[in-house]
Amino acid sequence: MKFETKVIHAGIHSDPSTGAVMTPIFQTSTYEQKAPGKHKGYEYARTQNPTREVLQNNLAALENGKFGICFSSGLAAMDAIIKLLKQGDEVVSVNDLYGGSYRLLTKVYEQFGIESRFISMAKPNEIGAQLNKHTKLVWIETPTNPMLNLVDIKQVVKKVKEVNSRIIVCVDNTFASPYLQNPLDLGADLVLHSATKYINGHSDVILGAVITSKPKLAEKLYFIQNATGAIPGPQDCFLTIRGIKTLHIRVERACKNAKKIARFLLTHPKVNKVYYPGFKDHPGHKIAKAQMRDFGAMVSFDLKSESFADAKKVLSNTKIFTLAESLGGVESLIGHPPSMTHGSIPKEDRLKVGMTDTLMRLSVGIENVDDLIQDLERALTKL
Ligand SMILES: *Cc1c(COP(=O)(O)O)cnc(C)c1O
């Protein structure tokens, strides 16, 4: 099946008890047993739930994997992955990863004796030297937030596996979505999604997933899912299954809109720099072209003015772009990473990576692109 068919049919089946075409919400905590141990494969809903099963199988297919394991949030999914490690093990991660992922690694797992190091993965050839006998997990995120840096997944996996084939490589694929990028095909062992973003796509669910083709890793993750219990509820699984059915058309349209908006910003007299992997002079353009189906729908930009007050004017004067955290929904959002998601990073560290006081991030939605451009134009003329 091609992607567009998989989103609608892979792992989806009509309900055997009634013939219902759409996956029912199995809102139950337990299942009847005819005699002790005599049941239909379902005992208790932390362990098995038919709605969740359908979502897991569907997600596995979208990432060209064999197993999907769903969690109550993207961070709960990441938490389950880190629980594959033990005291004394080490994680090597990209240095500009999602703030919540950074917090989990540093503020939670360091106190359990799992250390993390954060490095640039811009030059895959230099990664081998960064690994040691304690390294058990390499964590990649691409494109990154909010600077939209790219990591060459295939090359990084190759270099890591040359050092030690048993090091697990996981890619946080949230920003690209499975429609644009499939890390398992590029050699990664695990893919993580905050399904809260593009996968559900309607900004009404928090949910996470891990996908893999490795039976041993899957078995351990299913064990952790049941043993630690951070499962999503059946209603959220249902909503996510429903959201996925339009994933391809949503992301396709959002990418198209983002391309036009990036070009508009590039020529705007008040705008300084536009970060968008679709531009030929973006440092990750070639990588994006090789490993993604399109360049994504995230665009960051800053102003020629260096004052936060000017950024505030833009941020509070858009009418269609809503000022909010998160991304990947049908509606367009605008955010200010230096004061919102990245507020805890010292200013000099922010500036080193180009995150100036006026840096703004757009999650471009699927509205009419002329309306979106006009909205930004109007807000920029308030300067
Ligand atoms: C949002 C996000 C997460 C965390 O997911 P939640 O569903 O909010 O727990 C992880 N990684 C990236 C890249 C994200 O954008």
Tell me the best of 148, 172, 197 to mutate to test the pocket of ligand 1, counting ligand atoms within 8 Å of each CB and taking the most: 197
Atom of ligand 1 lying closest to residue 141 CA: 13
Distance 81 CA to ligand 1 centre (A): 14
Whether 172 is catalytic: yes
Whether the bond into 232 is cis, omega within 30 of 0:
no
Of 218, 244, 270, the one marking the end of a domain is: 244
Distance from C-alpha of 288 to C-alpha of 297, rounded to nearest angstrom: 13
User: In this structure, are 42 and 120 located in the same domain?
Assistant: yes
203 Cα–ligand 1 center, Å: 12
Tokens of 334: 């605008």
Residues 68 and 16 placed together within one structural domain of the fold: yes
Give, using CA atoms, the residue closest to atom 4 of ligand 1: 74
CA–CA distance from 270 to each of 125, 218, 362 (Å)?
39, 50, 16
Residue 349 bears catalytic tag: no
DSSP structural state of residue 368: -
Rg (CA), the chain: 21
How many angstroms separate the CA atoms of 198 and 296, rounded? 11
Regarding whether 310 and 239 lie in a shared domain, the answer is: no
For ligand 1, the distance from its centroid to the CA atom of residue 283, given in whole angstroms, is 24
Q: Are residues 61 and 105 in the same domain?
A: yes
Encode pLDDT of 316-336 as tens digits. Answer: 999 999 999 999 999 999 999
Question: Before 143, cis peptide (omega within 30)?
Answer: yes
35, 182, 230, 335, 341 from 207: Cα distances, Å: 35, 19, 10, 21, 19
Q: Give the C-alpha distances (Å, rounded to integers) separating 341 from 110, 127, 141, 150, 328.
A: 21, 28, 16, 20, 16
Out of 71, 72, 75, 102, mutate this one to test ligand 1's pocket (max ligand atoms within 8 Å of CB): namely 75
What pLDDT shows up at residue 31?
97
pLDDT of res. 346: 83
242 is a catalytic site residue: no
209 backbone dihedrals φ, ψ, rounded to 5°: -150, 150
pTM for the full predicted model: 0.97
- Expressed in angstroms and rounded, the spacing between residue 256 Cα and the centre of ligand 1 is 23
Same domain, residue pair 228 and 262: no
pLDDT of residue 130: 96
End-to-end CA distance of the chain: 50
Q: What is the C-alpha separation between 243 and 238, in angstroms, rounded? A: 9
Q: Which atom of ligand 1 is nearest to the CA of 206?
A: 7
State how many domains the chain has. Answer: 2
What are the CA-CA distances from residue 12 to residues 61, 71, 241, 332 (Å)? 11, 19, 9, 30
Which of the following is catalytic: 152, 172, 302, 375? 172
Distance 35 CA to ligand 1 centre (A): 43
Whole-angstrom distance, CA of residue 288 vs CA of residue 286: 5
- Are 114 and 223 part of one and the same domain? yes
**Tokens read off for 106:** 């540093």
Question: Atom 5, ligand 1: which residue's CA is nearest?
Answer: 74
Q: Which of 244, 269, 288 finishes a domain? A: 244
CB 238 within 8 A of CB 361: no
Query: What is the whole-number distance in angstroms between the Cα of residue 175 and the centre of ligand 1?
Result: 9
Are residues 236 and 265 part of one domain?
no
Residues 170 and 39 occupy one common structural domain:
yes
Question: Alpha helices, DSSP H only, in the chain?
Answer: 3-9, 50-62, 74-82, 99-103, 153-163, 177-180, 215-228, 234-244, 247-266, 285-291, 308-317, 347-352, 369-381
Whether 267 and 197 share a structural domain: no
Q: Out of 219, 244, 269, pick the residue that ends a domain.
A: 244
Q: Tokens at residue 298, please?
A: 């995230």
Q: Cβ atoms within 10 A of the Cβ of 332, count?
A: 26
pLDDT of residue 352: 86
Six-digit token string for 323: 């000022």
Successive 10-residue mean pLDDT values, the chain, 383 residues: 98 95 97 96 97 98 98 98 98 93 95 96 96 98 95 98 98 98 98 98 98 98 98 98 98 98 98 98 97 98 97 97 97 95 85 93 98 98 91
Q: Which domain holds residue 264?
A: 248-380
Query: Does one domain contain both 123 and 239?
Result: yes
CB 320 within 8 A of CB 372: yes
> What pLDDT, on a 0 to 100 scale, did the predictor assign at position 378?
97
Question: Using a 6 Å CB cutoff, which residues line ligand 1?
Answer: 73-75, 98, 100-101, 141, 145, 172, 174-175, 194, 196-197, 206, 208
Among 103, 108, 194, 325, which residue has the most ligand 1 atoms within 8 Å of its CB, making it the best to mutate? 194
| Residue pair 262/298 in contact by the 8 Å Cβ criterion | no
Query: Quick one: tokens of 272?
Result: 């300084």
Count of beta carbons in the 10 Å neighbourhood of residue 333: 20
CA distance 190 to 81: 9
Residues 59 and 204 in one domain: yes
Q: Do residues 254 and 205 share a domain?
A: no
Kindly report the three-state secondary structure assignment for every residue of 135-162. EEEEEEECCCCCCCCCCCHHHHHHHHHH
Active site annotation includes 197: yes
Q: Which of 52, 96, 98, 361 is catalytic?
A: 98
* Bridge-based pairing state of the strands 322-323 and 333-335: parallel
Q: What CATH number does residue 296 fall under? A: 3.90.1150.10
